[in-house]
Each structure stands twice: as structure tokens, then as C-alpha cells.
Amino acid sequence: MYWIDGIVQGILLGGLYAQYALGMALMFGVMKIVNVTHGDLVILLALIGISLADLTGLGPWSILATLVPIGAAIGWILQRALLNRVVGDDPLPSLIATFGLSIALQNAMLQIWSADTRSLSGGAIQQASIPVGSLYIGVLPLIVLICATVLTAGMAFLMHYTRFGRALRAASADVEAAAMMGVNPRRVYALATAIAVGILGFAAAFQAMRSTVAPSDGPFQLIYAFEAVIIGGLGSIWGAFTGAMILGISQSIGFRINPGFGILAGHLVFLAVLAVRPQGIFKRKS
Amino acid sequence: MSKYQVIRMTLSGRIAWFIFAVALIGIVSMPWWASQGLIRDVVTLACYIAVAQMWNMLAGYGGLVSVGQQAFVGVAAYAMFVLAQTYGVNPYSAVFISLLAPAALAVPIYYLLHRLEGPYFAIGTWVVAEALRLLATNMPMLNGGAGMSLRVMTQFSVHERAIASSLLAALLLLVTLGGSYLVLRSRYGIAMTAMRDNPAAAASQGVNVHRLRFYLFVAAAVGSGFAGAVYFMAQLRITPPSAFGMNWANLAIFIVMVGGIGSLEGVLIGAVIFFFAERWFGEYGASYLIVLGLMTLACALYFRGGLWGFYSRHFNAPWFPTRRHLVRNKGVVK
């Protein structure tokens, strides 16, 4: 039962990681770039949410509803002002530019919010749980998981069945050919980043409710998102979701073996996948 | 005498070599004229230059952008601490023996990570460094998160330690800067420059891109490890967050991008800027890092060549010339 509980808690944790990973899978799938500020943006949105809650007294769900459009706006601006200049064959500029921005952002957050860890009060729901047999499943983690599943399904639908999704896939396959067919790549890229960071609005609210956030936490969220995306297979939306589950389970089982081993277990599973199946679990070898 | 001749050395290059040699002699002789504080600063600066130059070789020539060089800094430093403190090896021999650790580690890491495309390779190196940090935090042999102290150093007098630190700093600069320079001037340098400009074209000209990248990765690991061993020997203390900290990647990337990627001169300029920024503004909190981060961003977006690129657009006076100029000999009559 101890280990089954570990797996269940891991899947619930994976729900949070899936929300980090979804945006990264989208951005890489479309633009072949990694946004190093990905994790810092989760933290930034979470801290904005916490300060908003303190200032206005809004409840956690209203905060979530506010953070998503704020995230989308940040993503749009980020792409328009910065990333559109560095999309290209050479991965170095986008990586270095966002790396520099990440350092600046982390230290700016440190100046504004100090190094304290903070969290968002979620009310009674934070402690509520549902007994299933001898297991207890937290209501909040369950909501996070359901939300992640809906977001992933929504994203998969968007990619495959909408005009915007077709434009995204066309731009990712061949920018120039897509541009000739009337797709405006810069607009498509900006929308993709807006969606990716908008999803981080969900992740930020849930992260702040489930545990705590501090300005220097961003790199960890970035690494978890990255590991989930690679484990699942680059560019695959459901792959990222599955990767997040595998990462969550690995960490949860690891924590039960030894509290110091949890995060490390996730890294080791990631490296093992890289050694055995570098193209990820979902992607076929090209 | 042939009609053409290849010029490889310039006047500015000769002057720079002379200054470099004088500087090295100055560093070696520090124990007899400099204060403890100055020696410490010079050792720190030498370590920054070495780590940045190794990153410069990787990213600037190999096209291998890593944000996890702290993995090698930390592994070598910890290997040195364990050898000297736990097993009683002479600390100065331990510095050199410990270089085997980053070399041995770089091989499997490269084979795991080279499958990842550009930016994903970078984050992959970060994961490795994080995994090693956590591993060090959980190892009782390394005293876990509390870290280790190099108490065996008390067997040497302050003056003896100063001599050793100065010698190690000079050697570190000689190996990383001088070594890079010699490699860049050799036929491997031509291959690396070709690879930097276009890997596919370089491969079609007979450059074994894969093998060259592998060598570069291992060499950079050893160079960074050397810097780590020297740095933490001077610190006398090591903890997992300091040894495997992101700060190493931050400083390497800042130094190279602001100084000028793909040049030795840029590394020197960037390292001096970083060192003094840290020294002067560090006491006012972390806000100087906001500026350094934004400078890195600005260089990646607008000044790809950094400060050195700006300089060399206006002056043709490289300090470490690696180019070959073909000159027609005037005196030769056909």
C-alpha cells in the first residue's frame, strides 16, 4: 500500500509538472527554441498572484483567472520584443538571451519580494481529501491533475483540428513555405508563446497553493518541465503529459526510499531514458 | 623564396605575448611582493578566466552550449578535497590527480547528451550538474550538505601556501589561455574555426566534427575542473551549492558574451569586468546581477561579437592573432 500510495501521489504531482511541460513542448515543437525563463515565469506569476491576493483579498480561483491572461500577455510581449529576433537555425542566441533574462528576472524578483518562501491560501480545499480504500487523495492535487488533463486535451485539439493549429504545425515544419501560404510566422509564434506562458498561469496558481514559491525556484521548474518533455518525446503534446507523470512517479517513489533521493531519482530516470531511448517514449526514430 | 608568404604573427600579438609572459612572472612572484588579499583576488580572477575560456572553446568553437560546466568544477574540487583530506594525499599532488575525475566523467556525459539538439544539450548539462549537486549533498563521505574543510592545509605555512597558490594560478592561465591559443593556431584550430562557421561544410572538408567536439568537451571539462580545484583550494572550504552552483555557468556566459565570443581577448576583457562588478557592486545586494543578466541578453540580441567584436571592427590589432594572412612578396621577380 505504501508503494501504491507513492505511485498515486506521483501521478498527482505529475499533474503539476504536466502544466509546466505543456508550454515548453509547444514552444519547442513550433519554434525549436528553449525559453530558459520558463521556470522563472512560473515563479513571477505565482508571486504576482500572491501579492494580488494580499492586496485585493481575492480568492485563489479569481487569482488563477487573473494570472492566465497576465501570463498570456507576458508571453506575447516576450515573443514580440525578444524571441522573434532570435528564432532561427542557430540555437545559441535564443538560449543565451533567455539565460541572461533569467538571471535578471530572478534577481529582480529577489529585490522585489525578498528571498522568503510564500504561498497562496487556497481555503478549506487545501486540506480536503477523498478516502479511496485505505488511500487518501487530496482534492487540490486531484483538481490540478484534472486541469492538466483538460489543458493537454485542449492543446492536442487545438493543434490538430483548428486553423491556428494548422498554421502552427505548418510554421514548425517549414517557416518559409508556411509564410508563402499566408501564415504570418511572427504572429503564430507570438500566439504560441502567449498560450505557453498563459498555461503557466495555471501552473503558478496551483504551485503557490500546493506548496511554496521563492524567487530562486525557477530553474527547478524549468528542469522538471524539460525532463518531462524529453522523457515523453520532443514535440509530442501527450508525450509531455506522460513524461510529467513518469517524472512525478519517479520523484514520489524516490522520496519514499530516502527523502534526500526524491528529486535525484527524477534526474536519474531522465538520464536512463536518455541512455536507452533518446528520442523519448512517444516519438518514433526519424 | 616563394612568391607568397603566410603571415601569422602581428606586432600587437608580439606585444601581447610579452605582456602575458610578464604577467605570468608577476603572478608567480606575488608571494614576495603582494598582500594576501591581492593573491586571493588574482587566484579568483584566474579561475574565472579559465572557466570562461573553457566555455568559450565549447560554445564559441564547438557549437556545444553548456550551462552545466559547474559539474566539472565541482567534481574536480571534491575529488581534490577527498584525496587530500580523507586519504592524506599531498594537497598539491591531489590537485593534479583530481583532474582525472572530470575527464572520466565527461566521457559518459558526452555520450548521453550529444544526442540532444542544441538548446536541449544545454539544459541536459544543467540536469547533470544538478544531479551531481544532489548526489554530493547526500553522500556521507563528502559530509553531505555541510561540506568539507581542507584542514590538512595547516601543515603548510602561510608563505608556502601563497607560493603554491600563485604557481597554480599562473599554471592555470598558462594551460587554459596559452593552451587554447596554441590549439587555435594549430591545424586543429583551422578545423575548429571551420566547424564553428559551418559544421556540415567542415565535415565535407574532412573534419571529423563528432570526434573534435568530443575532444573539446573532455578538454573543457578538465580545464574547468582544474579551475575548480585551484579555486576551492584557496577557499579551504567546499559545499555542494558552492561547488555545483549556477554561478559558474552565469559568470562563464556573462564573461564570454559581453567580452566577445570566439576570441581569447574577449574572455580577458569580460573576466575583468565581471570581477570588478562583483567586487564593487556585490556589497549592495544582488541588483548588479540584474544588470549583468540584461547585458548578456543585450549582447546575444544586438552585439553578437561583444566588446572585442566592437574593438576589432575599428582596430586591426589582435592580442592573440589566430588568423593567417597571405601576403605577396614584393622582392620576388618572376
Query: Which of B117, B246, B290 is nearest residue A104 as measured by Cβ atoms?
Result: B290
Helix (H, G, I), strand (E, B) or coil at B238: strand
Nearest CA in chain A to B199: A90
Cβ separation of B301 and A267 shorter than 8 Å?
Answer: no
**CA angle A98–A79–A182, rounded 5-degree value:** 140
Average pLDDT, rounded, for chain B: 89
Higher-confidence position of B266 and B320? B266
Letter string b/e over residues A182-191, b meaning 16 or more CB atoms within 10 A of that residue's CB:
ebebeebbbb
pLDDT of residue A57: 85
Q: Give the model confidence (pLDDT) of B142-194 as tens digits.
A: 888 888 998 888 888 989 999 999 999 999 999 999 999 889 888 888 888 88
pLDDT of residue A72: 95
One-letter amino acid of B167 = L
Conformational region of residue B10, where left means phi above 0, alpha means psi within -120 to 50, and beta covers everything else: beta
Q: Which residues of A touch B254 (CB under 8 A)?
A: 100
DSSP string, A165-191: HHHHHHHHH-HHHHHHTT--HHHHHHH
Average pLDDT, rounded, for chain A: 88
Give residues 78 to 107 of A whose Cβ lies within 8 Å of B: 82, 85-86, 90-107
pLDDT of residue B42: 94
Cβ separation of B246 and A219 shorter than 8 Å?
Answer: yes
Query: Which has the closest alpha carbon to A35: A97, A81, A104, A107?
Result: A97
Query: Which of A34, A96, A275 is nearest residue B300 as measured by Cβ atoms?
Result: A96
Entry pTM:
0.90
Please compute the mean of the pLDDT values over residues B32-52 and round it to a whole number. Answer: 93
Helix (H, G, I), strand (E, B) or coil at A285: coil
Q: A18 falls in which pLDDT band (50, 70, 90)?
A: very high
Q: B1 falls in which pLDDT band (50, 70, 90)?
A: low
Query: Which of B67, B116, B300 is nearest residue A93 as measured by Cβ atoms?
Result: B300
Domain ranges of chain A: 2-276
Cβ separation of A274 and B285 shorter than 8 Å?
Answer: no
Residue B167 C-alpha cell reads as: 604557481
Q: Give the model confidence (pLDDT) of A226-253 as tens digits.
A: 999 988 887 788 889 999 999 999 999 9
Cα gap A12→A165, rounded to integer Å: 29
Residue B154 is classified by DSSP as G
State the CATH architecture for A2-276: Orthogonal Bundle (1.10)
